[in-house]
């Protein structure tokens, strides 16, 4: 039997009164917290550990995610910078943290998938010590050629490399960095050799690229495009699987003639191993929602990044595959740090 109009109105007024008094949650509150584990995060402060110094892209993205979570939850979410050892100090800190979802890691490709093979000693085990939540975003690199090299296409650069083995030089921000490994991967694919000139940072190597002391270099999207637009070098291609919306005129390396080539630098969010699955899944849903926001996509694009949300299980598999890939590359090419 239908509820009488008067009774329905009385029920509606009662529900509204209870919501206003705090006795019942509003519809928005119910939807926002439907999957939220009981008492999480409670009175505890949630922190995202960024294993690098403030100011870089990793830190900017970490603060973006923290700010967006704080808005959704109505509670503070802070960023803690714990720099050092190529991201190892902050990464180890989270590996040893209490597994209650209040200490999270802004994980990097280098710390999680490269350093375990590259470094002689790493005080954490990526697979054993972490509960992956989701990949956050990735950015392809851009291949730059010096103006003096004369290369205006990838094929012209490859021809120069093959014509004079070990005569073409490339700069990186150090042994084992994403720039170094990406260049080695490209050289392996084309069957070429080049002289590695490691620097202590990209700014120094880019200065020498502009001065034609070195012939080529891979660098992150935002930096490389700004550098090329200033006429200091020529942008030849991007390393992603598809062309970038930031520079659609640039072909991918695969399109330009480097077989089966794809590479990108990525970031992800992880919790300490042993964190309850309910918390991991809740964080995954919250962060994926954030990454799908047009405003967040625009802010990531300003840093040259593209959002890459995925399930915790998919992210765990992705990290494992990346670790195997880099281990094979490092061992096959005898790459080591000084």
Question: At residue 17, does pLDDT exceed 90?
Answer: no
Eight-state DSSP code of residue 234: E
Q: Which domain holds residue 156?
A: 141-238
Q: Report d(CA 279, CA 262) in Å as an integer.
A: 33
Residue 57 sits in the same domain as residue 123: yes
Which of 198, 220, 238 is the last residue in one of the domains? 238
Can you give the CATH number for the domain in which 209 is found? 3.40.190.10
- On average, the pLDDT of the chain sits at 89
pLDDT of residue 203: 85
253-284 pLDDT, tens digit per residue, is: 999 999 889 999 999 999 999 999 999 999 99
Q: Report d(CA 8, CA 24) in Å as an integer.
A: 18
Measure Cα distances from 139 to 78, 250, 264 in Å.
Answer: 24, 15, 5
Measure Cα distances from 103 to 62, 199, 273 in Å.
Answer: 13, 33, 11
Which pairing describes strands 130-139 and 306-307: parallel, antiparallel, or unpaired? antiparallel
- The answer as to whether 17 is a domain residue is no
- The answer as to whether 35 is a domain residue is no
Characterise 109 by phi-psi region: left (phi > 0), alpha (psi -120 to 50), beta (else): alpha
Residue 157 sits in the same domain as residue 120: no
Can you give the CATH number for the domain in which 275 is found? 3.40.190.150
- The answer as to whether 248 is a domain residue is no
Residue 112 sits in the same domain as residue 198: no
Residue 167 sits in the same domain as residue 304: no
Residue 167 sits in the same domain as residue 316: no
The mean per-residue pLDDT over the stretch 131-135 comes to 98
Q: Report d(CA 38, CA 195) in Å as an integer.
A: 57
- The answer as to whether 4 is a domain residue is no
More confident residue, 304 or 125: 125
Per-residue pLDDT band at 24 (split at 50, 70, 90): very low
The mean per-residue pLDDT over the stretch 78-89 comes to 93
* Residue 307, SS3 per DSSP: strand
Q: Which residue has the tokens 């809740």?
A: 282
pLDDT of residue 338: 62
- The answer as to whether 67 is a domain residue is yes
Residue 150 sits in the same domain as residue 206: yes
Residue 59 sits in the same domain as residue 87: yes
Q: Report d(CA 290, CA 197) in Å as an integer.
A: 40
Would you list the DSSP string of 166-212?
Answer: TTSEEEESSTTSHHHHHHHHHHHHHT---EEEE-SSHHHHHHHHHTT
Domains identified in the chain, total number? 2
Question: At residue 29, does pLDDT exceed 70?
Answer: no
Residue 86 sits in the same domain as residue 163: no
Which of 238, 254, 274 is the last residue in one of the domains? 238
CA 138 to the chain's CA centroid = 5
189-198 pLDDT, tens digit per residue, is: 999 999 999 9
The mean per-residue pLDDT over the stretch 94-117 comes to 96
Please choose, from the candidates 266, 228, 245, the residue with its C-alpha nearest in 3D space to the C-alpha of residue 146. Answer: 228
Model's pTM, two decimal places? 0.84
Residue 271 sits in the same domain as residue 320: yes
Where do the H-state alpha helices sit in 33-82? 57-73
- The answer as to whether 10 is a domain residue is no
- The answer as to whether 3 is a domain residue is no
Question: At residue 25, does pLDDT exceed 90?
Answer: no
- The answer as to whether 38 is a domain residue is no
Residue 128 sits in the same domain as residue 270: yes
Residue 146 sits in the same domain as residue 232: yes
Which of 238, 272, 291 is the last residue in one of the domains? 238
């Amino acid at each position: 039997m239908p509820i009488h109009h008067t009774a329905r109105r009385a029920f509606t007024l009662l529900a509204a009164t209870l919501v206003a008094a705090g006795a019942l949650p509003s519809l928005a509150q119910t939807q926002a917290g439907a999957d939220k584990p009981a008492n999480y995060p409670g009175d505890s402060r949630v922190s995202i550990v960024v294993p690098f110094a403030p100011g870089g892209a990793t830190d900017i993205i970490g603060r973006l995610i923290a700010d967006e979570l704080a808005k959704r939850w109505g509670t503070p979410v802070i960023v803690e910078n714990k720099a050092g050892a190529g991201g190892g100090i902050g990464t180890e800190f989270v590996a040893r943290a209490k597994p209650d979802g209040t200490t999270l890691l802004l994980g990097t490709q280098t710390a999680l998938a490269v350093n375990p093979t590259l470094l002689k000693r790493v005080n954490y085990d990526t697979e054993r010590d972490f509960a992956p939540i989701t990949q956050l975003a990735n950015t392809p690199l851009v291949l730059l050629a010096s103006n003096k090299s004369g290369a205006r296409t990838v094929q012209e650069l490859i021809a120069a490399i093959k014509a004079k083995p070990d005569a073409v030089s490339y700069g990186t921000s150090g042994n084992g960095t994403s720039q170094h490994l990406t260049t080695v991967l490209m050289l392996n694919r084309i069957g070429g050799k080049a002289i590695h000139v490691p620097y202590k940072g990209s700014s120094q190597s880019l200065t020498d690229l502009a001065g034609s002391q070195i012939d080529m270099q891979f660098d992150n999207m935002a930096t490389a495009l700004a550098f090329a637009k200033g006429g200091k070098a020529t942008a030849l291609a991007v390393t992603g699987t598809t062309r970038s919306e930031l520079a659609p005129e640039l072909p991918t390396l695969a399109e330009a003639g480097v077989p089966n080539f794809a590479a990108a630098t990525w970031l992800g969010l992880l919790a300490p191993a042993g964190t309850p699955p309910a918390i991991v899944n809740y964080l995954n849903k919250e962060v994926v929602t954030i990454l799908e926001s047009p405003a967040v996509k625009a802010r990531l694009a300003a840093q040259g990044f593209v959002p890459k949300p995925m399930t915790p299980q998919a992210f765990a598999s992705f990290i494992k595959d990346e670790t195997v890939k880099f281990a094979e590359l490092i061992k096959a090419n005898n790459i080591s740090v000084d």
